[in-house]
Amino acid sequence: METHFANLEGARAALAKERVVEDLRQLARDAEALLQATAHDVSDKAREARERLAQALERAKATCAELEEGMVVRAREAARKADSVIRQHPYESIGLSFAVGLLIGVLLGRR
């Protein structure tokens, strides 16, 4: 029996990307709040810092959008692959679905 960990590593990578995307979103919200809070400061250093922060914020938003698009594309590919496997092995798919449903029913019936 062979064990492949490629899918496990892929799942970990996807989870890590989701965390990065969420962290980028939170960073963007915090940066926007900081920009609004310091809008009244008109010194040259503050203005320059706000401009750099605004540029970094735009880059972070673009990166976040790219990561989300990549995750959507991979999800579509996975759905197509699953559909293909199900179409190639319809009876096995039905049997597996039945077995999983039966197992869930038995486990829920125990409560």
Question: What is the tens place of the pLDDT at every residue in 11-43?
Answer: 677 777 778 878 878 888 888 887 787 777 777
Specify the pTM.
0.50
For residue 39, is it within any domain?
yes
Query: How many whole angstroms separate alpha carbon 20 and alpha carbon 60?
Result: 11
Q: The domain containing residue 52 runs over which residues?
A: 6-86
What tokens does 45 get? Answer: 């250093």
Instruction: Provide the CA 36 distance to its chain's centre, in angstroms.
Output: 28
For residue 41, is it within any domain?
yes
What tokens does 92 get? Answer: 């096995």
pLDDT number for residue 3: 46
pLDDT number for residue 1: 38
For residue 1, is it within any domain?
no
Domains in the chain: how many in total?
Answer: 1
For residue 43, is it within any domain?
yes
Contact between 3 and 49 under an 8 Å Cβ cutoff? The reply is no
For residue 40, is it within any domain?
yes
Which residues are CB-contacts of 60 (< 8 A; sequence separation ≥ 6)?
24, 27, 28, 31
For residue 65, is it within any domain?
yes
* SS3 call for 3: coil
